[in-house]
Amino acid sequence: MVSLSALLSSVSILAAVFVPAVLADNPINPPFAYGSTKVRGVNLGGWLVLEPWITPSLFENTGNSAIVDEWTFGQLQDRNTAFAALTNHWNTWITEQDFIDIANAGLNHVRIPIGYWAFEVAAGEPYISGQLPYLQRGIVWARAHGLKVIVDLHGAPGSQNGFDNSGHRISFPQWHSNASNVARTNAILKEIVATFINDQDVVTVIAPLNEPAGFDGADVLSVVRQYWYDSYGNIRFPYGTSQQSNTLVLLHDAFQPLSSWQGFQTAPQWQGVAMDTHIYQMFSQDEVSRSNQQHIQAACNMASELSSFDLWTIVGEWTPAATDCAKYLNGRGVGARFDGSYPGSTRVGSCNGITGSASSFSASYKTFLRQYWEAQTITYEKGAGWIQWTWKAENADDWSYQAGLRGGWIPQNPTQRQYPNICG
């Protein structure tokens, strides 16, 4: 008997020519009403996958400016020193109190990024493992406090995008060009699914890969599409039989327009598939040069695309921050477009008072953050919902949900609006 993943693989090889002729699956019955109840959540960024801009102290305390990601964190310092720093970080950056606070803020989901190296490290890879027990602890806390969890594979072997948040900051991603990288990723995804197979009451969503670099061309996208087919089989059919899970498969748009995915893994042939799109307005000169009102309007303008797409669409990353001013946001040792310190950029203004501690934020800036937050959440709820990046950061309060609650630009109840008509 052909396994479902093999069937999907053989079918999807022909996907460029034929519509995949997979028998219709049963609609899933998850314990959260995706599509009718809005996803309102937050990412636990920088916890189990390090990011220099979220925890700059963890990197600066190494005394080595060449340590710029989790790969070099394990490679360029004493292993015992690195492991001790990581263990302390895992134990303290996110605790049960954070889950309590997230639930008390009226949110219903947490998205937890995890790297492949939590499950498997090959010879020659300097990653330090040990994250998995903390992910499992987080699921216990989520269950205790009524939150659903999206387990998000944030870094794959070879790096799927070359970003520091994939674990390995490199000039060009290598995941897609090496078949063994993809095979390892499939095996790791199966391990993730098996690990949480009895936690479907809490782990309601698995995201098989964060932000593959579709902007690098057709070679990447063809591998991504095949991997999405394989991931569907691995997530929805984890029992080795025709029995299906109730786990939602959350694909990423690979930085392509949603319209380019029209008709991909849609019902009735495919069930329980959602699309993740990430919306940021600071990673280009054009975006970072927009006025506050232009940022708000650009967010509002997303409504029709999100509401009309043919899969449940979740904005799985976004932020009320409108600039790239946060220290190390573009990478450790890399400057910001906004203040002209990023190579080749044109200065827009000073970063003083728009990132760092909220104690430096003016009343008018906080008003903008509130307006921009509301414009985005109103708009993203035209789709299936939203998950803000990120819950907390050491020194970038403009990005922090926790800081926004304290500072008043994020409401204690996410449905509360001061500007209900901001998008017209």
Catalytic residues: 211, 317
The four Cα atoms 385, 391, 393, 394 give a dihedral, to 10 degrees, of 160
Closest CA to 310 of 256, 255, 249, 262: 262
* Lookup result for tokens 């593959």: 212
How far, rounded to the nearest angstrom, does the alpha carbon of residue 375 sit from its chain's CA centroid? 20
Phi, psi (deg, nearest 5) at residue 316 = -80, -10
Residues 387/150, Cβ–Cβ less than 8 Å: yes
Phi, psi (deg, nearest 5) at residue 164 = -60, -30
Q: What is the DSSP string of 154-201?
A: EE-TT-SS--GGGT---SS--STT-HHHHHHHHHHHHHHHHHTTT-TT
Q: In the 8-state DSSP scheme, what is residue 38?
A: P
- Pairing state between β 39-43 and 385-388: parallel
Residues 418/370, Cβ–Cβ less than 8 Å: yes
* Lookup result for tokens 């040069």: 289
Residues 39/385, Cβ–Cβ less than 8 Å: yes
Residues 161/213, Cβ–Cβ less than 8 Å: yes
Closest CA to 13 of 222, 265, 169, 187: 222
